[in-house]
A and B are shown apart, each in its own frame.
Chain A
């Protein structure tokens, strides 16, 4: 299977590419080079450029969209919102049926969920709020969803919050009750590329990807149940304290 990765040289790409490199023919794209070795092809592509995305998607079987921009209003909408439109147009034009989109948790579960509720699952209507990153990503999500309702395309959206490394130490700020190690998060993409699309409940399915945590604020059950994703116990020290007395 030939897989196009958009935004592959960002924060998540260097963790995802090594896990897919042996089993898939990768076309990794970004506006900056990917500084790890892999056997696939790298192309310079700006996800905000419709023609570049269209050209890069020719002949691929699936697209993974890791592109993200958070702060500048022009660039955030270009990448997070129009980038999804460009990706979906390319998917229609080239008959690509499998898309994996990504974003932050507040693509769906903004402050009106996060600060008030518990057991929050990804099967909720989007309430991103007015935060630039959240809203621009959420509008991209809505574009993807609309395309799945009118074309034979399946979009899985994987949502993340805090990424941690197992050897990092807790700082003064509490880790979000929606955290995962970089390695563990990257494991979900292979599952998404291999799952029989008929097993998914609809053509547009969202998943919260974070490790098993005791907080109960969000739920990762769907990612485990549907995708078979397995959380690792590799960052527990972020919410466990020593109870031994010196």
Chain B
């Protein structure tokens, strides 16, 4: 499968590309250049041919949340989460790329009390923190393309990323990089429903969020 990964200059995109590369062809894109061993295209995600070209010959789009980019203003963040995503999704439709995996954040569910057993059926409760609000708006944009059956969108709401050898705590909603890569690979393979949301965090006793749905439907197993 050839996969376009957005926010390609980010460390997360590079990690995922490395982990997906043995089984897939990956193409990275970002608004600024980056040094990488992978195919990389600079694109501003405007309403133009350069955005359409990104998706040429691709089978799937992996939409990475822009969270944590150095030098990114709150306005850039929200602009890319809305206009940028809208342009990219339209380009995907035009290119016949149906599979979209959207990496979102479990920060959308943080407003619930810790003792609640929050699942994907619960309403997201974004804050006005730009990164969280941006993730919410990206989900909302993707959802409309799914609602019109133009794309098959799988949303992975992920916990706070930690190193693979980091100690996990029940309060942390942490996600190890290897677990994310595992979840992404499964989601890309299974992405044939118009709209589905999964919560992903690494396994720990008393985990903040359940991953039962991802385990049952995707075969997500903690490694």
A85 within 8 A of B: yes
Secondary structure call for the A interface: helix
When distances are taken between beta carbons in the complex, the residues of chain B under 8 Å from A138 are 140
> Contacts A142-B136, A146-B126, A151-B128: A128 and B144 contacting too (C-beta < 8 A)?
yes
B129: nearest chain-A partner, CB-CB: A150
> Contacts A74-B46, A81-B83: A130 and B128 contacting too (C-beta < 8 A)?
no
B150 within 8 A of A: yes
With the chains together, A77 CA to B81 CA distance in Å?
A: 11
When distances are taken between beta carbons in the complex, the residues of chain A under 8 Å from B148 are 112, 129-130
Count B-side interface residues using an 8 Å CB cutoff.
26
Contact A73 B147 (CB under 8 A): no
Taking a contact as CB atoms closer than 8 A, the residue among A92, A135, A150 that contacts B86 in the complex is A135
Q: Which of B86, B87, B145 counts the most A-chain CB atoms under 10 A from its CB? A: B86
Taking a contact as CB atoms closer than 8 A, the residue among A73, A130, A136, A139 that contacts B150 in the complex is A130
Contact A142 B86 (CB under 8 A): no
With the chains together, A73 CA to B136 CA distance in Å?
A: 20
A82 within 8 A of B: yes
Contact A146 B127 (CB under 8 A): yes
> Contacts A129-B147, A142-B136, A147-B128: A136 and B46 contacting too (C-beta < 8 A)?
no
A14 within 8 A of B: no
> Contacts A73-B47, A129-B148, A135-B86: A81 and B78 contacting too (C-beta < 8 A)?
yes
With the chains together, A143 CA to B133 CA distance in Å?
A: 8
Interface residues of A in 58-102 (CB under 8 A from B): 73-74, 77-78, 81-82, 85, 88, 92
Interface residues of A in 94-134 (CB under 8 A from B): 110, 112, 126-130, 132
When distances are taken between beta carbons in the complex, the residues of chain B under 8 Å from A136 are 82-83, 86
Contact B144 A129 (CB under 8 A): yes
With the chains together, A138 CA to B147 CA distance in Å?
A: 15
A149 within 8 A of B: yes
List 22 A-B pairs, Cβ < 8 Å.
A78-B79, A82-B75, A82-B78, A82-B82, A85-B75, A88-B128, A110-B144, A126-B140, A127-B147, A130-B90, A130-B148, A130-B150, A136-B82, A136-B86, A139-B137, A139-B141, A142-B136, A146-B127, A146-B136, A150-B127, A150-B128, A151-B128
